[in-house]
A and B are shown apart, each in its own frame.
Chain A
Amino acid sequence: MREITWRNDMGEALLDAQKTGRPLFVDFFWPT
């Protein structure tokens, strides 16, 4: 089954967003 590839390092994700121009979708969660 396909899944979304989630990152959990926001700093690294921001650097990638700056490099690629791709926006970030950020999900703040609390485990249930």
Chain B
Amino acid sequence: MTHCESLQESIGRWLDGELPPAESEAMRGHVASCAECSATRQRLEKIQLTLGTMLTAEAARLEFAPFWREVQHRIAAKRPWHVELIEAVQSLFSVSRLAWAVPAAIMLVLGFLSLTKWPGGVETNNYASVESIDAHGRNVALLREDETKTTIIWLYQDPEGEDENAEETTKPGPAF
């Protein structure tokens, strides 16, 4: 991989204003003197501009009055009970909630197996645990089955933010 190929991702971050100031300045200097990176910059800017123009032009055709009438109509209309029920059930089975369900199900199965295999309470080294490993929703589930010497380590991130119903955990008060 050439030096310029390795910079491709950074050029995007630079155009997005997401590089630290010192790196941003270095990138500016490099792009100004490098034909390959300068061409990449132009391509990325053209993609951004074209897509932005397309979406803006379509949105400009959208009139507020009929849009608002339809929103009002939905607010006023009472939805059938089964639609409400389906929505409630769907929200229970969102991806973010199922992220917890998988290790929980494995733990239940292992727990059940250990109970049925050793009804007399024979001491084993089976182990199951779920721990949070940082403040960003990353978790680790550790499952160990003694007889077969099977160990499962499950690293996953709880995508709480994807759930529009999720409790907001950041500081209270307006952020805008």
Q: Are the chains A and B members of one assembly?
A: no
Interface set of B (CB-CB < 8 Å, partner A)? none
